[in-house]
Amino acid sequence: MSGTRPQGAALADDKAKRALILPGGGLRLSYAAGVAKRLFEGGLTFEFMDGTSGGSLILAMLLSGLDIEEICQRWSSMQMAQTLALPSFSQIVADDGFIAAGSASAFRQNVFPHLGINFERLRQATGIKASFNVGNFATKCNQVFPHQHITEDHLVAGMSLPGVFPPVSINGELYMDSGFIQDANLLHTVKAGARELWVVWIMGNIPEYRTGLLNWYVQMLEVAANAALHKELLQIANINSRIAAGETVYGHTQPIRLHFIRPPHPLPLDSALYTGEICHADLIKQGYEDTTRYMLNTTQEGDPFDPAITKMTEQHPGIQFKETMSGGFALGTSDYKQGCDKGQWAGHVLAMHAQVDIDDIDQFVETGKHPGRLSGSIDFEPMGKGIPAHSGVFNLFYPADKPGLKLMVYELAFTHDGQDYYLAGKKEVEDDTGFDLWSDTTTLYTQLHKGTDKSGEVVGAGILTLGVIDLIKLVSTMRVLHAKNTPEKLATIGKFGRFFMGELWDTYAKHA
């Protein structure tokens, strides 16, 4: 079998010398598939790829020859029940006591085949310097294996956290997950020649101490992983200082650069995947969106090698819902009513299929300073159906010159035929009741701009509306995020429902 070049691998003459660092974090690392998808779409390629723990699964899939679309599809379709296996009866009743709560047999028999991991193809991958990190139990050190030496046992060992799966014997030595040693290996790629590090990171780093047995275990991992990463960040900062002073370090005469992509809040634990509170498609979507925001805001210099970049904030109760609005829309006008009338006359309807995620319902409702995230797709016959948006905003404004008015802003950025467009809509909700409240809550005045934001030229306009059936569907899709208990969940739904729909909430709340 001849070797193949994995997607994202740099060409031989690429001078960027980038490294993609895929860390540990469990099966939540499907998040990193969304990150990689956005990076590849942005044209980034890598001479080096390095994987640890859960990140090794995505690296193994890339080296097996899968493209990122198929990788995302395989993660999204994976049944979590297929990842579970009990230890053998002999292990349970063994005289020498407990070894691990589970067995890795489900990964060997179900997970690896479902994810499309082919070890022969992995070892024969060309055009990439790829490495896997595994903990050596005898030396208590992280051990790096080039991809040409990786077997199924190495990949299983790299996922075998103490107490979760038993360690794996390879050539007479015991190996395990490196998570308690280090969860990402930046220095290895720097020493190998990488000048630009793109690091994905999902291990939580918040000041709050969480209670509960699972949190207790995970927090030990988070402390160890963050501490090891912080040490490497400071070591590379020192390398850059030496380079700035004129020293050549590991062959580098220019400073190492860092791009650090992480969620703003700790991701839900793997347990949430098993209970259905989240799914891999959600995590992939979040990874994609977080990376999109990062790429819009980063600079060529990247991020500082400062431990503070790993800090996250605790999540508060939020809400998610889906909303579809549609209506007459026409190109060549900036007037809402005129665009709506022209669109209806020509039979051109624009439909916006959106999902809204609000991370902190209290801050959103009470201050309007914390925008929600808007994602989805657009149907518009002159352009096509199912046009995906690559970023979006759902926000709230209270105009100072118009007391009693609140503006709900819906904005989606997308690309069509190589041209960037920005769809910007607003609902004007007055403090009133009855028919006016229904109209305000369900009417979106919309303009289409050329470019990446609403400062661009207006090239179309119309009015989108939400029908009764669509409103009932919206309410039925409401999902509370990060609530600690049922009372908090009910309070969150009620708070958002009354904010979003006013007195209409009393009529439609039963559909939530």
Residues taking part in catalysis: 53, 177
Any idea of the CA torsion for 227, 232, 237, 240, to the nearest 10 degrees? Answer: 180
Give φ, ψ of 251 to 5 degrees: 85, -5
Residue 124: CB atoms within 10 A of its CB come to: 17
Which residue in 151, 131, 163, 166 sits closest to 56, CA to CA? 131
| Contact of 103 with 87, CB cutoff 8 Å | yes
Radius of gyration from C-alpha coordinates of the chain: 25
- Residue 253 amino acid letter: T
* Cα–Cα separations (whole angstroms), residue 79 to 67, 266, 337, 438: 21, 23, 48, 42
Helices 68-76 and 280-297, packing angle to 10 deg: 140
Which residue in 120, 127, 147 sits closest to 1, CA to CA? 120
| Contact of 182 with 55, CB cutoff 8 Å | no
Give every CB contact of residue 43 below 8 A, 6+ residues apart in sequence.
Answer: none
- Six-digit token string for 153: 């046992």
Give φ, ψ of 477 to 5 degrees: -90, -5
- Six-digit token string for 385: 């159906």
Q: What is the DSSP letter of 120?
A: H
Ranges of H-type helices in 158-212: 186-192
- Six-digit token string for 405: 């008015």
- Six-digit token string for 125: 């991958």
* Vertex 348 angle, CA 347 and 351, to 5°: 125
| Contact of 239 with 252, CB cutoff 8 Å | yes
Name the burial class of residue 335, with classes exposed (0-12), middle (13-18) and buried (19+) by CB atoms within 10 angstroms of its CB.
middle
Which residue in 131, 189, 179 sits closest to 159, CA to CA? 179
- Six-digit token string for 449: 């701009």
* Vertex 225 angle, CA 223 and 228, to 5°: 105
Look up tokens 């230890």; give the residue.
87
HEC assignment per residue over 341-364: HHHHHHCCEEEEEEEEEECCHHHH
